[in-house]
């Protein structure tokens, strides 16, 4: 089974929609996704994700299932630490935009579970939302025959033969949080070291190693792929980065 984690197109946040560029991205994305043999589609309840999915769903004649846990990560850093980032724009209160001098040297921050004890997560909102997302992912995979046991997944009898491809239309913070859970790596480290451009496709493959043992684990095939934009002559958006240009 493959899972495609797809970030929405270039956003216009005031109306939770897409810019003209985002609409072009969604069209180019659909040119790619119609060839991916998608069997199931799931979408965030937010408008920018739905608008990104719409061209693909229309061409495939499919409907997407809306999942509440796919909405963008809503939590922000607690007010106690606002003073540390006053010299920066308000944007950095977003938990995946913290300046490195605040988080990089915190003890345990790069541990798979140690990040939970960081002082800027003390009020528990980040951890609670992350756990909700993790349960949502695990429950979804269980519906498709892969039940999580520790860091691996038990495959239901005969399920691999279905050759499913699942598409998740979602968001940057949410998508990188999923990768943290999938790879059992620090949420903070993943949030601050991986980037998914708008309309990008991240591919996860559920790989079985031995024919006689019904277990699989998730392998990343690609992260943040925007080859469909290059093919269509559309430049990458820097939405979600703290810089407006990339060399």
pLDDT tens for each residue of 42-84 = 999 999 999 999 999 999 999 999 999 999 998 777 666 655 5
Burial class (CB in 10 A: 0-12, 13-18, 19+), 37: exposed
Query: What pLDDT was estimated at residue 120?
Result: 86
Task: Note the CATH number of domain 8-72.
Answer: 3.40.50.1240
Tell me the average pLDDT across 4-15: 97
Q: Any idea where the domains of the chain sit in the sequence?
A: 8-72
Q: Average pLDDT for residues 212-227, to the nearest whole number?
A: 94
**Partners of residue 146 on adjacent β-strands:** 155
CA separation for the pair 228, 230 (Å, rounded): 5
3 state SS for 140-168: HHHHCCEEEECCEEEECCCHHHHCCEEEE
Instruction: State mean pLDDT over 204-232.
Output: 94
Nearest CA to 36 among 166, 226, 208, 205? Answer: 166
Which alpha helices (DSSP H) does the chain contain, by range? 20-33, 47-60, 100-103, 125-143, 172-183, 187-193, 227-231
Q: What percent of the chain has pLDDT over 90?
A: 76
**Nearest-angstrom CA–CA distance, 18 and 217:** 35
Beta-carbon count within 10 A of 123 CB:
13
């Amino acid at each position: 089974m493959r899972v495609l984690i797809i970030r929405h197109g270039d956003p216009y946040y005031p109306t939770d929609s897409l810019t003209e560029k985002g609409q072009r991205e969604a069209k180019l994305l659909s040119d790619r996704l119609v060839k991916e043999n998608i069997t199931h589609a799931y979408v965030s309840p937010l408008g920018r994700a739905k608008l990104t999915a719409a061209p693909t769903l229309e061409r495939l004649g499919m409907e997407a299932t809306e999942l509440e846990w796919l909405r963008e990560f809503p939590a922000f850093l607690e007010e106690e630490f606002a003073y540390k980032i006053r010299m920066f724009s308000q944007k950095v209160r977003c938990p995946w935009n913290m300046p490195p001098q605040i988080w990089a040297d915190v003890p345990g921050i790069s541990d798979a579970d140690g990040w939970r004890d960081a002082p800027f997560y003390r009020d528990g909102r980040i951890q609670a939302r992350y756990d909700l997302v993790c349960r949502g992912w695990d429950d979804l995979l269980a519906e498709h025959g892969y039940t999580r046991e520790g860091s691996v997944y038990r495959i239901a009898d005969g399920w691999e033969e279905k050759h499913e491809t699942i598409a998740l239309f979602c968001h940057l913070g949410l998508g990188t949080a999923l990768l943290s859970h999938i790879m059992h790596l620090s949420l903070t480290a993943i949030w601050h070291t991986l980037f998914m451009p708008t309309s990008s496709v991240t591919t996860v493959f559920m790989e079985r190693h031995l024919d006689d043992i019904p277990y699989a684990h998730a392998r990343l095939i690609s992260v943040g792929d925007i080859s469909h934009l290059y093919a269509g002559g559309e430049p990458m958006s820097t939405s979600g980065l703290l810089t407006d240009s990339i060399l």
